[in-house]
Amino acid sequence: MSTIHWTENHTHQSARWHSENAAPLPQRTVVADDRLKANDAYRQACEGTALLWRGDFHNARQLLQAMGRRIDRKPPRFSTSPSENFHLHRRSSSHRARVLGKLLVLLDDDYTLTLRRAPDVRQACLEAYGPEKGPMAVSLRELSGVIGAHQWRLKGIDVPALGTRIHPHYGVFAPVRGEYVDLVAHTPLPPATRHSSASSTAFDLGTGTGVLAAVLAHRGIQHVVATDISPRALACAKENVHRLTLTDRIQVSGPGLFPEGRADLIVCNPPWLPARPTGPIEQGVYDLDSTMLHSFLAGLPAHLRPGGEGWLILSDLAEHLGLRTRQQLLDAIQAAQLRVVDKVDTKPRHPRSKDAADPLHTARRAETTSLWRLIPAP
């Protein structure tokens, strides 16, 4: 366990250090309050000093925004190379997270935040961090994410394909991009599922919130096994399955990728950008060596029933960024002794694809999300 140390009122104090994105333990921590100016806070944060906030909560949020504006005054220089722009963008985002992550708050034994005008964050922290283990220091930026995730969990996200809402948990990739959900909702099911509808089986690999498993059950698949390697995702999927009264149709299993047995349909929506994730949410987007993609392809032939199909849902954003080629994907499919029988495409509808100020706008605008229908090669 990492411990953060500081001096307050001439007394040495300490608390457990926690960072979801694995930020290193601050080497120096000082107490800060409402008297601290934004320029001084920004300078100290850039120098690596952590600022443990003891003032007003709303003032702390305003200070965090002011520090962010100072970062934005020095935008990175982008080039004409899409791949270089991607790496510059990642470096810039990492710098922002590192600097803003230096503004800290202290959570008490029961996750109480004892700052003036602070909200009650106990339930949000309990959901994100689990049972209390004593005082804990976290960045205000991370705590803001925990609070936002709690609101999403309460309100849910509307999924038109289900006609209801899915409730994501903290650290679980939320179905805010509906393209991949709609692909699974509207692509014709394999003949094997229609010929034996009473015993049709599907696997949803990397289920996350369980949304695709729910869509498959909604479409008439009688038995769906949803897997994930993340304990948070498994808990989230189980809760959503229970909420949707689908516990008799959907089995949540893991941690792992493939469950035992075979299925008529196996669906996987792996991370699409070959880069190292820096936190739990990013694991749904970044996979440095495309490990999940290759594991899905390699395991597919041994887990399909005769006449079954594998559905690979994949964005081509990495191709537009020059990080991966289409031939690499086709070679991986062939190496797994699979062949493509069809490909269904859709264009992005999320706001970032229309944001001309986004440094990756050209690639995002050209992006296509595809559902590749795969079967074992003869």
DSSP string across 164-194: EEE-PPTTS------HHHHHHHHSPPPHHHH
Instruction: Note if the pTM is more than 0.95.
Output: no
- What is the C-alpha separation between 258 and 159, in angstroms, rounded? 26
Q: Is the peptide bond before 255 cis (omega within 30 degrees of 0)?
A: yes
DSSP 80: S
List alpha helices for 47-139, DSSP H.
57-72, 82-100, 122-129
One-letter amino acid at 212 equals L
Q: Which domains does the chain possess?
A: 3-153 (no CATH), 157-376 (3.40.50.150)
Closest CA to 70 of 100, 93, 90, 101: 100
Closest CA to 87 of 337, 358, 323, 341: 323
Closest CA to 305 of 216, 234, 223, 208: 223
Q: Are 101 and 64 in contact (CB under 8 A)?
A: no
In this prediction, residue 172 carries a pLDDT of 95
- Both tokens of residue 277? 């994730």
HSE, CB side, 13 Å, CA atoms: give it for residue 245.
Answer: 1
Closest CA to 5 of 160, 135, 187, 169: 135
In this prediction, residue 353 carries a pLDDT of 66
Average pLDDT per block of 10 residues along the chain, 378 residues long: 92 95 93 97 97 98 98 82 89 93 97 97 96 95 96 96 96 90 96 80 97 97 97 97 97 96 97 86 87 96 96 96 94 97 90 72 90 96
What does 230-247 look like in DSSP terms, one character per residue?
Answer: -HHHHHHHHHHHHHTT-T
- What is the C-alpha separation between 3 and 299, in angstroms, rounded? 42
